Chain A
Amino acid sequence: MTTSEPNTHDRRSFLQASGALGAAGVLGGLAGCSGGGGGSGGSSTVKQKDPSKDDPLTVAVYGGTFKDVLDKQLFEPFRNETGIPVESKAEETSSAALSKLKAASNAGKAPVDLSIIKVTGILKGENVGIWHHWSPDEFDNVSKIADNLKHTDEDGNLVGIGALSWFINLVNNTNQMDSPPTSWKALWDDQYKNQLGLLSLASNSYLLDVTAEVYFDGKSTLQTKDGIKKVLQKLEGIKPQAGMWYKDEAQFEQKLKTGDVPAGMLYNDVTLVMEDKGAPVNSHFVDEGSIIDHGEWCTLNTSPHLDAAKTFIDYASKPEVQDRIAKNLYDPPVVKKKYSDLSDDTYKKIAGPGPQAAITPNYQMYIDRSSWISEQWKQLIIG
């Protein structure tokens, strides 16, 4: 598998025999989870059929506003234009979904046909072989998607295809804060003591990447354990400013709106939607670069609706569809800039200075050192 180059898109064993081993095999079989390091995915052996009203193409997306907007701007037009029955499903689409998808895949089931998955999830899913691989020739519009928003296997087949892209900015309650933070350095500034809401996972806050970028030599610092330890040591300094550590943005949204936690890091799209609904909030693209993250369409290799899934991905990759979603969801389109017709003002609102100026997470680090980073990170925020 090849990992995308960061920020180049122009918009953005030991096995001991034991008595338990026999039982393990039997019980592992019972669970349908013999684990395994994975496979290559590839072509499906599942009997294919056309989606119907009772058995539609099922697509997992983020819930709340995301689902509402996508239902209106993507699913409904797709249904009308192609006649393919499609249903959106608000589901966990991050790493949290993988255990469920893996178990379903082992059992030959597909709880959803395709899903928006973040890069770390794509890599993990690829390692356990649950994704269908597509030939690039199968699509008309996928070539218009920015190259760094696609994941391919060793043979150049597509595993993930850019679906949505988003920024994590610094935000504030405009009633509570006269001098809102606009630099990541504010996280270390004691004038914001106990006032900031911060994402609580290493792999969704990307604060390791931010700290490496702002105070060290960027990604090269994160290549070694010693480098990561130095970054973690520096991150000790942000703890006094953390008024809350949140995993789900809804928790922080409430506190930000009431001013209980008057500032922090939050998704630009979510903040703009809050602003539209009258909340006294503001989103700032950060001086040193906001964090850019994205999700890709991944198809479960046990999906019985591969043809419909392909048609859906191709439809979602159309520049006009991407622009429509971008305008309503406040996320930058995933197609190359030359294909987008967004006005400069709209683009600036949803993408600021653009993806080139943003900090791209070192996704592979979160896979290669998954357990260790998670443990170190928890030690940092709990201790």
Chain B
Amino acid sequence: MAAESASAAEGRAGIRSRTKYLVAAYPSVLLGLLFVIPLLMLVVFSFYLNVNGGYFKPGFTFENYVRFFTHRLYRGQLLFTLQISFVTTLITLVLGYPLAYYLSRMNNGLVRRAVMILVVSTLWITYVIRAYVWTVLLAKSGPISKIGVALGILPEPTGWTPGYWALVIGMAYAFLPFMILSLYNSLKNIDGELIEASKNLGAGPLETFRRVTLPLSKNGVISGSALVFILSLGVYVLPKILGSPSQWTIAIIIGDQVNQQQNIPFAAAMSIALMVVVVVILGAVARFTDVSAIGMGGDVQ
């Protein structure tokens, strides 16, 4: 009887133990299938050989990486992509912070929810539609130009699309919600009593912002900026519609290698190189701002 009972207990423990492994195995398998294997494939393909006018064949060459880092076309477009991503991040931060702050301090829950839905609702529309809207708004015959001329701000009808500023506006518009949501989470978690205490100790609104609010929302700023920066680095549709060739980002160049040239190895090498650049930048941000990878997720320290 005792033996039977021990065996039953062992059985239950065995099932529990196996279940534990099964539970752990699920995310591991998922991570492996969805992230590790595709990434490994990308790395491997990046060393394959391209067949001109054909496809590619297995092999091992550094030529794709050498070509990417030594040809001024690719270097130039990589630098441009980094530059426009930085400008977009800065603009979304400047525009997003006051709005996120205002939302986080808003007492009326109904209005707050309404504004949040308004902010998030732009994400429900595809990038293509949003880009085309800006091509109409910023066209020479568009409403902004007409209003500018009517108000005497513009001497003659002016079009901004395709062009650099049209692209910056389009990107800032597309990625602003991500910045606002990141900042809002961070600002919302700031204890209101700390701000109150600062005021009670004689600090003015600016002093309170500089010494209390801003430092406490640092992680939100970093995480929002990192998110917008990374999204901007991969932007593909917007520069195609709103930009001239000189505003083609590296993602377009990669897409062209896949779609037009069928040069998968070179496209893979460019993707890996871009990924390395992103990791290096994020690593530098984490190091110099003293924010951990988890902090970049937006948690308040």
The interface of chain A, by Cβ under 8 A from chain B, is 13-18, 20-21, 23-25, 27-28, 30-31, 33-38, 92, 95-96, 98-99, 102, 123-124, 127-128, 200-201, 203, 244-245, 247, 251, 254-255, 258-260, 367-371, 374-375, 378-379, 381-383
Contacts and interface: CB of A to CB of B under 8 A. Distances in A.
A200 B59 contact: no
20 contacts: A15-B49, A28-B44, A28-B45, A31-B41, A35-B51, A35-B55, A95-B259, A95-B260, A99-B258, A99-B259, A201-B260, A260-B140, A378-B73, A378-B245, A378-B256, A379-B72, A379-B73, A382-B73, A382-B245, A383-B76
Nearest to B247: A382
Interface string B32-65: 0000010011001101111111111111110000
Given A200-B245, A382-B245, A375 B57 contact: no
B59 A244 contact: no
B271 to A, nearest CB: 14
Chain A CB within 10 A, most for which of B59, B71, B258, B264: B59
A382 B76 contact: yes
Contacts of B264: 33, 35, 99
A245 B248 CA distance: 11
Given A96-B259, A123-B53, 18 more contacts: A15-B59, A20-B60, A21-B58, A21-B60, A27-B44, A28-B44, A31-B41, A33-B55, A33-B264, A35-B51, A37-B55, A96-B260, A99-B264, A258-B139, A370-B53, A374-B256, A378-B253, A382-B246
B55 A20 contact: no
A127 B51 contact: yes
Given A201-B260, A370-B261, A382-B77, A260 B139 contact: yes
A20 B262 contact: no
A368 B245 contact: no
Given A375-B73, A378-B245, A128 B55 contact: yes
Contacts of A35: 48, 51, 55-58, 264
Interface string B254-268: 001011111110100
Interface in B191-216: none
Contacts of B112: none
Nearest to A120: B53
B233 interface: no
A124 B53 CA distance: 5
A382 B140 contact: no
B248 A375 contact: no
Contacts of A24: 44, 47-48, 58, 60
A161 B240 CA distance: 33
Interface in B50-96: 50-61, 71-73, 76-77
List 7 A-B pairs, minimum CB-CB distance, nearest first: A96-B259, A35-B56, A367-B53, A127-B54, A381-B245, A35-B57, A260-B140
Given A16-B61, A30-B41, A38 B245 contact: no
Given A35-B58, A102-B55, A244-B162, A23 B262 contact: no
Contact of A37 (B51, B241, B259): B51
A30 B260 CA distance: 24
Interface in B94-138: 135
B141 interface: yes
A23 B41 CA distance: 9
B159 interface: yes
Contacts of B52: 367-371
Contacts of B260: 95-96, 201, 203, 374
Contacts of B261: 95, 370-371, 374
B244 interface: yes
Contacts of B37: 27, 30
A14 B240 CA distance: 36
Contact of B262 (A25, A99, A200, A251): A99
Contacts of B71: 375
Contact of B244 (A28, A34, A245): A245
Contacts of B244: 244-245
Contacts of B73: 375, 378-379, 382-383
Contact of B58 (A28, A127, A251): A28
B65 to A, nearest CB: 13
A383 to B, nearest CB: 8
Contacts of A378: 73, 245, 253, 256
B44 A95 contact: no
Nearest to A382: B245
Interface in B153-209: 159, 162
A1 B180 CA distance: 58
